[in-house]
Amino acid sequence: MNLFFQKEVLLVKFPILFPIIYIAILYTFPNFETQLIFLTILILAETHFGATWPFFLNKENFTHIKEKKIEFIILPVILVLFCITGFFYFNNLFLLIFFAANMFHVTRQSYGVMNLYTKDILEKKYYSNTIYFFNFLFFVIAFFRFYVPVITSDHLIYLNLTVISTIILVLLFQLNKFSFSENFLTLITGVLIFYPVCFVSNPVHAIIMGVTMHYSQYLYLTSHVIRKRKMNDDKDKANYLFRFWCVAIFYSIVMSILSIFGKNDSEFLKTLIFIPITGQMLHFYLDSQLWKFSENHNRENILKYLKN
C-alpha cells in the first residue's frame, strides 16, 4: 500500500486522485459547476501553462534559443498570428484544431511519462500502442459527440459499456503479459485521461477533468528539473523555485480571469478568451521542442535531471 502514498506515484505515475475529486464535486454539487471549472483552471490548468515560460526562458536555454531562431522565435510568432486569424475568421475549424492539438499534446506527454519509467523495450512498445489507440479513439468519440453530434445521450450507456469492456480486456492482457508494476499505473493514467469524453455533457469537462492528471505530471516534472539544476546551492535553488512559481501563478491568475470573460455579456470581453487559447497553443508547441530528447541540449538540461 505504501506504493500509492509515494509523491511521485501520486503526482506523476498515477495521479487519479485529481479526476476523482473533480467528479465527486461535479456530481455532488452540480450548481457549483462554473466555480469548479474556474478553480481547476486557476489552480492546475493555467498554472501548468504558465510554468512553460520560466522553464523555457531560462538561462540554460538562451544559447539554444539563439541557435534555433526559427524554432523558438519565428515559428511561435507565426503560431500566434495563426491563432488570432483562426479565432476571428474561422472559429469553428480553429477550435477543432485547438482540441486536436490539445489531445495530441496530452497523449505525447502520457507516452513520454510512460517512456521515462519503462525500461523493457517490448513492454514500452505495447504500452505506447495502447495509449495512442485509446487517445485516438477518444478523439473520434469527442468529435462525434460534440462537433458532429451523431452520438447522442441515448447512445451513452452502450458507448460506455463497450469502451469500459475494451479497456478492461486490454489492461488485463497487458497485466497478464507484463505483471503489475508502477509502469502499469502510468499505462492506466495514459489510457483514462480522456475517458470523460464518453460521459460528460459539457465538453469543457472532457478537456479538463481527466487532464488534471496531465497538469499534475507537468508541474511536478518541471519543478523537479528546476530543483535538480540547482541541487548544489540550496539558496539559489530556493530563489529559482520561488521565481518559477511566482511566474506560473501570476500567469494563471491573469489567464484564468481572461478565460471567464468568455461567459460575459460584452462581446468585446468574450473575445479576450483568444489570449489564453493562444497561450495554450504556444505551450503545446514549445513543449514539443523543449522535451524533444533527440536534441542533445534537452538531454543535458532536462532528461538527465529526470533520471536522478
* pLDDT tens-digit readout, 104-142: 999 999 999 999 999 999 999 999 999 999 999 999 999
The whole-angstrom separation of Cα 182 and Cα 13 is 7
State the alpha helices, DSSP H only, in the chain.
7-8, 17-28, 33-40, 46-50, 52-56, 62-67, 69, 75-89, 91-117, 121-142, 156-178, 182-192, 203-208, 212-229, 234-260, 267-271, 274-290, 296-298, 304-306
Say what the pLDDT of residue 228 is. 85
* pLDDT tens-digit readout, 80-114: 999 999 999 999 999 999 999 999 999 999 999 99
The whole-angstrom separation of Cα 189 and Cα 12 is 9
Q: What are the residue boundaries of the structural domains of the chain, listed by start?
A: 9-306
**Spacing of C-alpha 30 from chain mean position:** 25
Say what the pLDDT of residue 128 is. 97
- What's this model's pTM, rounded to 2 decimal places? 0.93
Low-confidence residues of the chain: pLDDT under 50:
1, 4
Say what the pLDDT of residue 92 is. 93
